[in-house]
Structure 1
Amino acid sequence: KELDVYANLRPIKSYRGVRSISDNIDFLIVRENTEGLYSQIEYEQDNKVIAQRVITRRASEKIAKVAFEQCIAKQKQKVTCVHKSNVLKKTDGVFKESFYKIAENYPNIESNDFYVDATAMYLITQPQNFDVIVTSNLFGDILSDEGAGLVGGLGLAPSGNIGDDHGLFEPVHGSAPDIAGKGIANPCSMILTIAMMLDYLKEYEISNKINKAVENVVSAGKTLTPDLGGNSTTSELTKSIVDEILEGDY
């Protein structure tokens, strides 16, 4: 909130050699980062505990625009709005209306919407049908973890938070303190996050190189951490990716 990095970008991509539901998963979740239930407005009143779900037209339109711009940048075809407006008629009603208002400015991009519960099922049954998903804070958090599970886990889940003036980058899994120092953490999500940051800084050549190196090493299946079915350490997988970056001809 302090940096106004209101858009959380969470790409979900499958890799050859890693067990996943489908081998052609490649979509992006664009999560609104400042509102919704994560606004942390909670209070007690008359023996009840209440959490406010804040959704504004301004933030909803801004995040929808980011989703369409990301769709263009990534040369995708479709943006899907995920909501629960049949139950949360006012808050998600605003979110859905704002999405279609912005969609009018992008007539060459397909736009559709699903309820969040249906989306949770579709991510399992037809993940290859998604290009870009735009949704609210809580829904985006949950669906991106589900998406990571489709392609091998949080060890392959990078993340970037961007706004109009700043960018802040971290893996979806955060700092993973429960396995710190054990040498078993998968470094790919951190390395892919670095690539996202370099892409944000318009350092496209090295960003593409890092992404390709991770893909080549993971797909080869020779140096994998336990979460991906291997027995290599964090350092060994990192070294393999660094070597690939330095030696790869691309």
Structure 2
Amino acid sequence: MAHTITLIPGDGIGPEVADATRRVLEAAGVKIDWDVQEAGAAVAEKRGTTLPDEVLASVRRNKVALKGPIGTPIGKGFRSVNVTLRQALDLYANVRPVRSLPGIEPRFEGTDIVIVRENTEDLYAGLELMIMPGVAQSMKLITERACTRICEYAFDYAERMGRKRVTVVHKANIMKLSDGLLLESFRKVAQKHPRIEPAEVIVDACAMNMVRNANKLDVIVTENLYGDILSDLGAGLVGGLGIVPGANIGVEAAVFEAVHGTAPDIAGKGIANPTALIQSAVMMLHHLDEHTAASKIERGLLTTFERGTRTTDLGGSAGTDEFTRALCEAIGRA
């Protein structure tokens, strides 16, 4: 059966890593009809918007999208495509697995955690105003509904993936009402999942623990801002944003994405690292119940890195095409 999937190649190195990912999926034997849609900074120059209506319509129609890195023109009044997609499609759960790969020198061996971030509210709701000249205010929006469903997603994910613990990250000692609401919701949801150990940690202590013993945290569930910061910290533990995947999950749609930037300085040079988008595609395959193909790619990636084939950002010498060819060959043998 062929899947129809929206593909948003993105800006900068986006089209290069998207093409590499398509080749890898084909090597794994997955049949996909790609619905290619353009969004981002390059589109804004032609269309006056970074996210044309047909892009949202495509994702709503196909239910699944794969997205490369997208740029937002700075200082021109354009909204972030990533934020707009998440809010328009109610993609409430941002999921970032953080795992060490062989052949890449990590800060710590064997790191394997997952960060589940609430994706629709908190300070990222963009509720700001100028109270008076020289005084700005940002409002932190936290609702019981959003707290409950992100905690439910985290516990369900932990059970589905064989994880043992879910750790809620908060600052309820200071923000007693807003973060207190998250903590209260977490405790209620935890009671429904007795097989999973619940844990609570303040966000600053969490940051320290992540660079001491990240695996103790296991699955982290937290608010939008904390999750954004901790996700990048996690990526730094295992080799950077160039290898870490990401997913935005909602009830009606899911968007899988590379979480790194557009890297315009290396665009078109054939040296971009496609690993992050490839790993995001693996998450997409699991979402589509294409577990056999996903496992093939996962084993192929491990083999490729074990054999020392790495792009320049990871200390290797392989270009995008060489890395992709090596991975496709490894998948063929998997």
Q: Distance in 1 between matches of 2:287 and 2:310?
A: 28
Q: Deviations over 1:171-226 (max 9, x none)?
A: 111433343222222111010111111111111111111112112111221x1112
> Residues 227 and 198 from structure 1, CA distance in 2 versus in 1: closer, same or farther, beyond 3 angstroms?
same
TM-score by length of 2: 0.72
Are the counterparts in 2 of residues 82 and 133 from structure 1 also a CA contact under 8 Å?
A: yes
- Which residue is equivalent to 1:147? 234
- Which residue is equivalent to 1:133? 220
- Which residue is equivalent to 1:64? 151
Give the residue type in structure 2 aligned to 1:148.
A
Give the residue type in structure 2 aligned to 1:245.
I
- Which residue is equivalent to 2:321? 235
Give the residue type in structure 1 aligned to 2:205.
A
- Which residue is equivalent to 1:210? 297
Q: Deviations over 1:77-123 (max 9, x none)?
A: 00000011111111101011111110010011100111111111111
State which structure, 1 or 2, has the greater radius of gyration over its C-alpha atoms.
Answer: 2
Give the residue type in structure 2 aligned to 1:110.
E
Are the counterparts in 2 of residues 16 and 23 from structure 1 also a CA contact under 8 Å?
A: no
Partner of 1:101: helix, strand, or coil?
helix
Residue identity (%) = 45
**Are 1:175 and 2:175 counterparts?**
no
Q: Distance in 2 between matches of 1:54 and 1:33?
A: 12
Runs of 4+ with >4 A deviation: none
Partner of 2:258: helix, strand, or coil?
coil
**Are 1:75 and 2:156 counterparts?**
no
Calculate the aligned-residue CA RMSD, in Å. Answer: 1.1
Q: Distance in 1 between matches of 2:263 and 2:185?
A: 36
Of 188, 210, 218, the match for 2:275: 188
Give the residue type in structure 2 aligned to 1:64.
C
Unaligned runs of at least 5 residues, structure 2: 1-86
Of 103, 118, 137, the match for 2:190: 103
TM-score by length of 1: 0.96
Are the counterparts in 2 of residues 224 and 230 from structure 1 also a CA contact under 8 Å?
A: yes
Work out the number of aligned pairs and report it: 247
Q: Distance in 2 between matches of 1:92 and 1:21?
A: 30
Q: Distance in 1 between matches of 2:130 and 2:265?
A: 33
Unaligned runs of at least 5 residues, structure 1: none
> Residues 172 and 90 from structure 1, CA distance in 2 versus in 1: closer, same or farther, beyond 3 angstroms?
same
Give the residue type in structure 1 aligned to 2:196.
I
Give the residue type in structure 2 aligned to 1:62.
R
Partner of 1:145: helix, strand, or coil?
helix
